[in-house]
Amino acid sequence: MWAFLVAASPALAQGRDPILIPEISQHEVVVRQGFTGANLLLYGAVLQPDGSRARGDTPYDIVVVLKGPTEAINLREKRRIWGMWINADSAQFRSAPSYYAVASSRPLPEIVDTRTAAIYELGLDSLQLSPIGAIRPDEVSRFVAGLVAKRVANGLYVQAEGAVTISEGVLYQARIPLPSSVLTGEYTAETFAIANGRVIASATSEVTVTKRGFERAVEIWSRDYSTIYGLMAVALSVFMGWAAGRLFALG
């Protein structure tokens, strides 16, 4: 009987869902003066539960999502009234990701339905931003669309369909850009293996974006000693203005 179980175990493993082994080219991105951004390589392998290679004919897709720290945000809509642009409607959101990028092996509508995409936040149309207060669904959609469009233009939101490559049904990789304007903090990279519209495996990795040296000191002072930092900034501006005036006067 034991011999039968041992002989049958590979077959049982083949019938189970695969597992993901993810990795990232950089687990820490250091922001220094002159930082122009970074390109992260997210890669890994899809294996059988017993650690063997996944079958090459397994029909699955890979979707990778990289999210930055969430932040509360207040959006205001400007309208042109009597020739002037003034603030009109506004909306507040509790948890908008400061950075969001999704890369997939195929177009997302071909991989998952709208319900699954909403559950796992797969795609810019599926972001859950948690509005604060009473606001109509149509207004939520309008403000979310405006926020997404603005952050896409700034390179902070990215949707790259077809950017994930899968080799021999085992290895996958995708490159995701980080612009120079990203916030510091903890970033989460989630990888999903999807077959027949169902998430069959998922894995999470972490990336830290941090500042060091003088830039780190400035960040700490501006956050923890905001009053002193503000006074020093004003004093420095006044001094630079006075010094520039003296130089021009001497010239």
Predicted model pTM: 0.75
Rg of the chain over all Cα atoms, to the nearest angstrom: 24
Contact, 182 vs 98, CB < 8 A? yes
> What are the Cα distances from residue 145, in Å, to 48, 50, 58, 124?
40, 44, 36, 9
Q: Taking all residues of the chain, what is their mean pLDDT, rounded to a whole number?
A: 79
CB under 8 Å to 33, separation ≥6 — which residues? 214, 215
Tell me the domain boundaries of the chain: 19-212, 214-250
List, for residues 27-48, the tens digit of each pLDDT value. Answer: 999 888 778 889 999 999 988 7
**Domain 19-212, classified CATH 2.60.40.1930, yes or no:** yes
Confidence (pLDDT) at 243: 60
| Interstrand relation of 198-211 and 185-195 (parallel, antiparallel or unpaired) | antiparallel
Q: How far apart are CA 187 and CA 27, in angstroms?
A: 9
| Residue 129 pLDDT | 83
Is residue 6 scored above 50 in pLDDT? no
**pLDDT, tens only, 188-207:** 999 999 999 999 999 999 99
Amino acid at 109: P
